């Protein structure tokens, strides 16, 4: 009789263990399901706007309407979007870049070809707020013709760490 009782006890223990294991597995499955089914709204990716000759005035007007000063980490770009050079080795006679006083950060910029961003045509010095840069000569001369380029602004902090980047379309015309 004792053997029969021991067998029944072992069977009962096994059944209880199996039921507990199934309950634990179901609970784990429910928890995983609930965690995976919770949909959090993805954070909207912020993108910089490429400013072109066609939209530059409307973008600047929109910025002027919104505020008298620029939000930290943002930048009001003040520049002409077509630069003329008499030759590829001379300084431009009409290129102007200004870091207006209402901006919150100093900046520097690089100029690259639109279709070849590996080749940097010009690396600017840091432009403090309230300063402007003129008489810009390219570091890498271009051949005569019209070249579609991109100005990549780096807004920097006091240690010259980049806080944000702004990309603006630029047309460079080499006349001869």
User: pLDDT digits over 100-133, tens only?
Assistant: 888 888 899 999 999 999 999 999 999 998 999 9
Nearest to 108, CA basis, from 121, 125, 93, 120? 125
Can you give the pTM of this predicted structure? 0.59
Pair 160, 122: CB distance under 8 Å: no
CB atoms < 10 A from the CB of 56, how many?
Answer: 16
Q: Note the pLDDT tens digit of each residue in 6-21.
A: 666 666 677 777 777 7
Q: Count other Cβ atoms within 10 Å, centred on residue 12.
A: 10
Q: What per-residue confidence (pLDDT) applies to 21?
A: 75
Please, what is the Cα angle at 115 between 110 and 119, to 5 degrees?
45
Question: Do the Cβ atoms of 49 and 59 come closer than 8 Å?
Answer: yes
């Amino acid at each position: 009789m004792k053997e029969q009782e021991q067998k029944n006890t072992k069977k009962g223990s096994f059944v209880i263990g199996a039921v507990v294991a199934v309950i634990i597995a179901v609970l784990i499955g429910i928890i995983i399901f609930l965690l995976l089914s919770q949909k959090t709204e993805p954070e909207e990716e912020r993108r910089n706007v490429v400013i072109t000759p066609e939209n530059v005035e409307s973008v600047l007007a929109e910025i002027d309407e919104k505020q008298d000063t620029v939000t930290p980490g943002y930048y009001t770009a003040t520049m002409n979007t077509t630069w003329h050079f008499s030759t590829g080795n001379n300084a431009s006679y009409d290129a102007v870049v200004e870091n207006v006083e209402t901006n919150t950060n100093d900046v520097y910029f690089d100029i690259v070809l639109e279709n070849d961003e590996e080749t940097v045509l010009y690396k600017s010095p840091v432009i403090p707020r309230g300063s402007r840069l003129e008489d810009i000569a390219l570091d890498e001369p271009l051949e005569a013709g019209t070249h579609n380029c991109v100005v990549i602004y780096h807004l920097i902090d006091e240690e010259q760490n980049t806080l944000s980047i702004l990309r603006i379309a630029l047309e460079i015309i080499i006349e001869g």
